[in-house]
Amino acid sequence: MSRILFDSVTKVYDENILAVEEFDLRIDDGEFLTLVGPSGSGKSTLLRMVAGLEEITGGEIRIGDTTVNRLPPRNRDIAMVFQNYALYPHLTVRENMAFGLKRSTELPPGEIDERVEEAAELMGIGNLLDQKPKHLSGGQRQRVATGRAIVRDPAVFLFDEPLSNLDAKLRKHMRTQLQRLHQTLETTTIYVTHDQEEAMTMSDRIAILNEGMLQQVGTPRQVYNQPENTFVAQFIGSPSMNMFVAELDRTGDRPRFTGDVEVDVSEQRAESIDNRSDADRFLLGIRPEHIAVHESPTPESVPAYVDIIEPLGSNDLLYFELEDGVGVDRVVAEDVDIGADEEGDEEEYKAFIEPESIPNRYESGDTPVHLTFDTNHVHVFDPRTGENLDDGRPATTESRPESARGAGD
Ligand code: ADP
| CATH code where residue 279 lies | 2.40.50.140
- Ligand 1 contact via 55 beta carbon (within 6 Å): no
Same domain assignment for residues 74 and 151:
yes
User: Under DSSP, is residue 98 helix (H, G, I), strand (E, B) or coil?
Assistant: helix
| Burial class (CB within 10 angstroms; exposed 0-12, middle 13-18, buried 19+) of 109 | exposed
Query: What is the dihedral sign for C-alpha 40, 44, 50, 54?
Result: negative
| CA 158 to ligand 1 centroid distance, Å | 17
Q: Measured between alpha carbons, how far is residue 253 from residues 28, 30, 265, 272, 284 in Å?
A: 49, 52, 11, 18, 21
Q: Does the Cβ of 183 fall within 6 Å of ligand 1?
A: no
Asked if residue 409 belongs to a domain, the reply is: no
Q: Is 13 in the pocket of ligand 1 (CB under 6 A)?
A: yes
Question: Are 209 and 260 found together in one domain?
Answer: no
> Among the three residues 209, 225, 241, which one is the final residue of a domain in this structure?
225
Regarding whether 61 and 195 lie in a shared domain, the answer is yes
Question: Is the peptide bond prior to 239 cis by the omega test (within 30 degrees of 0)?
Answer: yes
**Ligand 1 atom with minimal separation from the 39 CA:** 4
Q: Is residue 15 domain-resident? A: yes
Could you give the percent of the chain with pLDDT greater than 90?
Answer: 61
Within a domain: 46: yes
Same domain, 187 and 103: yes
CATH number at residue 155: 3.40.50.300
Give, using CA atoms, the residue closest to atom 24 of ligand 1.
13
193 in contact with ligand 1, CB cutoff 6 A: no
pLDDT band at 364 (very low <50, low <70, confident <90, very high): low
- pLDDT tens digits for 278-303? 888 999 999 999 999 988 899 889 98
Q: Is the pLDDT of residue 28 over 70?
A: yes
Residue nearest to atom 27 of ligand 1 (CA): 13
pLDDT value at residue 395: 40
Look at residue 57 and tell me if it is in a domain: yes
pLDDT band at 88 (very low <50, low <70, confident <90, very high): very high
| Residue-number span of the structural domain to which 282 is assigned | 230-400
Q: In this structure, are 177 and 323 located in the same domain?
A: no
Query: For residue 26, is it within any domain?
Result: yes
Residue 311: inside a domain: yes
Q: Closest residue (by CA) to atom 10 of ligand 1?
A: 42
372 lines ligand 1 (CB under 6 A): no
Distances (CA, A) of 4 to 45, 47, 67, 188, 225: 16, 12, 10, 8, 26
pLDDT interval class at 361 (50, 70, 90): low
Beta carbons of 376 and 282 less than 8 angstroms apart: no
Domain boundary among 225, 247, 269: 225
Q: Same structural domain for residues 218 and 235?
A: no
| Total residue count of the chain as it appears in this document | 409
Taking the CB of residue 141, how many other CB atoms lie within 10 A of it? 22
343: CA distance to ligand 1 center in Å?
27
Strand locations in 161-301 (E): 188-193, 205-210, 213-218, 242-249, 256-259, 262-264, 281-286, 291-294
Q: Are residues 248 and 216 in the same domain?
A: no
Strand partners, 248: 257
Q: What is the pTM of this model?
A: 0.88
330: which DSSP letter?
A: G
Q: Give the residue with greater pLDDT, 335 vs 143.
A: 143
Q: Give ∠ CA 169-171-174 in degrees, rounded to 5.
A: 115
- Residues 295 and 314 grouped into a single domain: yes
The ligand 1 atom at the shortest distance from the C-alpha of residue 11 is 12
Same-domain pairing of 38 and 153: yes
> Could you say which of 178, 197, 225 is where a domain stops?
225
What's the CA-to-centroid distance between 6 and ligand 1, angstroms? 18
246 and 215 part of one domain: no
Ligand 1 atom closest to 212 (CA): 10
106 band by pLDDT with thresholds 50, 70 and 90: confident
In contact, 377 and 269? CB cutoff 8 Å: no
Same domain for 163 and 303, yes or no, is no
36 found inside a domain: yes
230 lines ligand 1 (CB under 6 A): no
> Is 63 within 8 Å of 7 (Cβ atoms)?
no
Q: How far is the CA of 42 from the centre of ligand 1 (A)?
A: 6
Residue 356 lies in a domain: yes
Q: How many domains does the chain have?
A: 2
Residue 107, phi then psi, degrees to nearest 5: -60, 140
Tell whether 325 and 352 lie within a shared domain. Answer: yes
**Whole-angstrom Cα Rg for the chain:** 25
